[in-house]
Amino acid sequence: MGNLNTLVNRMRYWCQTVSLGYDQNQRWDIRPGGECDCSSLVIYALKEAGFDTGGATYTGNMSSNLTARGWRRLPNNGSPQPGDILLNDVHHVAVYLGGGQLAQASISEHGTITGAAGDQTGRETNIKAYYNYPWNCYLRYGADQSATSAQLAIDGSCGPATIAKWQTVMGTPADSIVSGQLVPDQKTYWRPALADECVTYGGYGSQLICAVQRRLRDERLYTGAIDGLLGPGTIKALQGHYGINRDASFGPDTVRHLQTALNHNKL
């Protein structure tokens, strides 16, 4: 069983007590006088604290592996809690220590991704005041499940309640809207099960669908762009996730499988 206090203490140890440098080419040489990068250090400290990290190897697959193991992806609201993992899915990750401080592996002594072993500047791994990187989310272990406790009817209709719970499980804002979709026509793939009042058009896609696409990409089911569009590639990948017919139609059978998973707080 993982312990958040141990996670915080191990991050303090590596970032403050010993000389640990930054080098992406030697990122798993984690020892006093060794090297790491931001994600290898967090993953290593999580394991030291007793957490199962699954197949997590870098920032891009940390969210999917940890949310499958008791962590919740929560919106960045500027108020992290001690032990929260502060995650930018593409570029950076740190751990919030509490008291307005975070711990992180930052950059080498050259301001580049490689450098000499050990911390040459005292800042390659460091503790500093909390800042917004910006973080895409906070990963929080054992977060309050009350927001996802209500059970959905398994009716195959993707209405406001299903969308809101889907958003909550994926850690995106829960407004019951799949936003930023393409203008509908006779080839609108998300019909017939997604209610018209739950879709808006234009813009840059949906945060919810982006989160789903990242999860499915980590499972090697989705190979398309992270564009937030609930199109045929995304739907087929979601159907592959559930092991059902991959017909690229977001119909009642797909939604029933989704609702069943959401009732267990899973995708």
Place of tokens 């203008």: 183
More confident residue, 159 or 36: 36
Asked if residue 216 has pLDDT above 90, the reply is yes
Q: How confident is the model at residue 186 (pLDDT cuts 50, 70, 90)?
A: very low
Whether pTM exceeds 0.75: no
- What is the rounded distance in angstroms from the CA atom of residue 167 to the CA atom of residue 257? 16
Each residue of 84-95: pLDDT tens digit? Answer: 999 999 999 999
| Sheet strands (E) in 46-124 | 71-74, 85-88, 92-98, 101-105
Of the candidates 67, 75, 72, which has an alpha carbon nearest to the alpha carbon of residue 175? 75
| Token reading at 26 | 């030697």
Each residue of 219-263: pLDDT tens digit? Answer: 899 999 999 999 899 999 999 999 999 999 899 999 999 999 999
What is the β-pairing status of strands 85-88 and 92-98? antiparallel
